[in-house]
Amino acid sequence: MFKKHTTALVLGLLAGTSLSATAAPNSDWFTDAAISPDGDTVLVAYKGDIYSVSSKGGTAVPLTVNAAWDGHPVWSRDGKQIAFASDRNGNLDIYVMPAEGGEAKRLTFHSANDIPHDFTPDGKAVTFSSTRTDSAASSGFPRRALSELYSVPTSGGTPKMELTTPAFEAQWNKDGSKLLYREEKALESDLRKHDVSAFARDIWMYDSEAGTHTQLTSFVGGDHNPLWGKGDAIFYTSEEADSTFNVWKRDLKSGEQNQITKFTKHPVRELTRAKDGTLAFLHHGTVYTSGERGKPKALDININVDGHGVDTETMSVSRAGSEFTVSPNGKEIAFVARGEVFVTSTEFKTTKRITSTPTQERSVDFHPDGDRLVYAAERDGKWKLVEAKIRNEDEKYFFASTLIDEKVLFDADNEAFQPKYSPDGKRVAFLSGRDILKVLDIESGEAVQVLGPEHNYSYADGDITFDWSPDSKWLTIDFIARKRIFITNVAIVPADGTKAPVDISLSGYQDGGPKWHAGGEAVLWFSSRYGQRDHGSWGREFDVMASFLNQDAYDRFRLSKEEYQLMKELEEDAKKKKEEEEKKAKEAEAAEGDKAEGEKASDKDADKKEEKKDDTKPVEIEWGGMQDRTVRLTVHSSNLADAVLTKDADKLYYLSQFEGGYDLWMQDLREHETKLLSKLNADNATIELSKDEKTLFVLAGGQIMKFELNGGGAAKKGVSLSASMELDGKAERDYFFEHIWRQVKDKFYTADLHGVDWADMKLEYSAKLENIGNNRDFARMMEEMLGELNASHTGAYYIGGNGGDDTASLGLLFDLSAPEGPLLVEEVLEKGPFDKAKSDVEAGMKLVAVDGTELGDGVNLYALLNHKAGDRTRVTFEKADGTRFDEVIKPISGGAESQLMYERWVKKSRALVESLSDGKVGYVHVRGMNDASYREVYSDLMGRNFDKDSVVVDTRWNGGGWLHNDLAKLLSGEQYLKMEVRGREFEGDPLDQWYKPSIVVMGEGNYSDAHAFPYTYKALEIGDTVGMPVPGTMTAVWWEVLHSGDIVFGIPQVGQRDMEGNYLENQQLEPDHKVKNLPEDVAKGVDKQLEKAVEVMLEAKED
The whole-number pLDDT of residue 587 equals 75
Q: Is the pLDDT of residue 1053 over 60?
A: yes
CATH 3.30.43.10 fits 2-135+147-304, yes or no: no
What is the homologous superfamily of the domain 812-892 according to CATH? PDZ domain (2.30.42.10)
At 38, is the pLDDT very low, low, confident or very high (cuts 50, 70, 90)?
very high
pLDDT in tens, 929-964: 999 999 999 999 999 999 999 999 999 999 999 999
Instruction: Supply the mean pLDDT for the chain.
Output: 93
The whole-number pLDDT of residue 12 equals 32
Q: What is the mean pLDDT of residues 1027-1052?
A: 97
| Residues tagged active-site | 793, 1008, 1065
Closest of 1067, 1061, 1042, 1100 to residue 338, by C-alpha: 1042
Least confident interval from 450-459, 527-536, 738-747, 838-847: 527-536
Chain centroid to Cα 471, Å, comes to 40
Q: What percent of the chain has pLDDT over 70?
A: 95
Q: How far apart are CA 107 and CA 95, in angstroms?
A: 6
The whole-number pLDDT of residue 13 equals 31
The whole-number pLDDT of residue 607 equals 46
Asked if residues 79 and 71 have their Cβ atoms less than 8 Å apart, the reply is no
Q: Is residue 733 helix, strand or coil? A: helix
At 501, is the pLDDT very low, low, confident or very high (cuts 50, 70, 90)?
very high
At 23, is the pLDDT very low, low, confident or very high (cuts 50, 70, 90)?
very low
Asked if residues 186 and 1010 have their Cβ atoms less than 8 Å apart, the reply is no
Q: Is the pLDDT of residue 601 over 80?
A: no
Q: What is the mean pLDDT of residues 657-674?
A: 94
At 583, is the pLDDT very low, low, confident or very high (cuts 50, 70, 90)?
confident
The whole-number pLDDT of residue 858 equals 94
The whole-number pLDDT of residue 564 equals 82
pLDDT in tens, 103-161: 999 999 999 999 999 999 999 999 999 999 999 999 999 998 899 999 999 999 999 99
Asked if residues 544 and 640 have their Cβ atoms less than 8 Å apart, the reply is yes
Q: How far apart are CA 1039 and CA 1025, in angstroms?
A: 30
Q: How far apart are CA 966 and CA 1085, in angstroms?
A: 32
Q: What do you get for the CA distance between the two ends of the chain, in Å?
A: 77
Q: Is the pLDDT of residue 1023 over 80?
A: yes
Q: How far apart are CA 964 and CA 1020, in angstroms?
A: 12
Q: Full-prediction pTM beyond 0.85?
A: yes
The whole-number pLDDT of residue 471 equals 97
pLDDT in tens, 258-306: 999 999 999 999 999 999 999 999 999 999 999 998 899 999 999 998 8
How does DSSP classify residue 497? S
Q: Is the pLDDT of residue 612 over 50?
A: no
Asked if residues 331 and 39 have their Cβ atoms less than 8 Å apart, the reply is no
At 539, is the pLDDT very low, low, confident or very high (cuts 50, 70, 90)?
low
pLDDT in tens, 722-763: 999 999 999 999 999 999 999 999 999 999 999 999 999 999
Peptide bond connecting 990 to the previous residue in cis, omega within 30 degrees of 0: yes
Q: Is residue 776 helix, strand or coil? A: helix
Asked if residues 4 and 245 have their Cβ atoms less than 8 Å apart, the reply is no
Q: How far apart are CA 413 and CA 399, in angstroms?
A: 34
Closest of 76, 60, 164 to residue 122, by C-alpha: 76
Q: Give the start-to-end residue ranges of the domains of the chain.
A: 2-135+147-304, 812-892, 897-1032+1068-1102
* 3-state SS track over 274-289: CCCCCEEEEECCEEEE
Asked if residues 633 and 652 have their Cβ atoms less than 8 Å apart, the reply is yes
Burial of 651 (0-12, 13-18, 19+ CB in 10 A): buried
Q: Is the pLDDT of residue 95 over 90?
A: yes
CATH number of 897-1032+1068-1102: 3.90.226.10
What's the angle, vertex CA 684, arms to CA 681 and CA 689, rounded to 5? Answer: 95
The whole-number pLDDT of residue 53 equals 98
At 11, is the pLDDT very low, low, confident or very high (cuts 50, 70, 90)?
very low
Helix (H), strand (E) counts: the chain:
13, 75
Q: Is the pLDDT of residue 4 over 60?
A: no
Which amino acid is present at 454? E
Q: Is the pLDDT of residue 889 over 50?
A: yes
The whole-number pLDDT of residue 537 equals 62
At 24, is the pLDDT very low, low, confident or very high (cuts 50, 70, 90)?
low
The whole-number pLDDT of residue 486 equals 84
Q: Is the pLDDT of residue 61 over 70?
A: yes
Q: What is the mean pLDDT of residues 546-565?
A: 91
The whole-number pLDDT of residue 594 equals 55
The whole-number pLDDT of residue 417 equals 93
Q: Is the pLDDT of residue 17 over 50?
A: no
Annotate 656-695 with DSSP letters as a single string: EESSSSEEEEEEETTTTEEEEEEEEEESSEEEEE-TTSSE
Q: What percent of the chain has pLDDT over 90?
A: 86
Dihedral sign for Cα atoms in the order 760, 763, 764, 769: positive
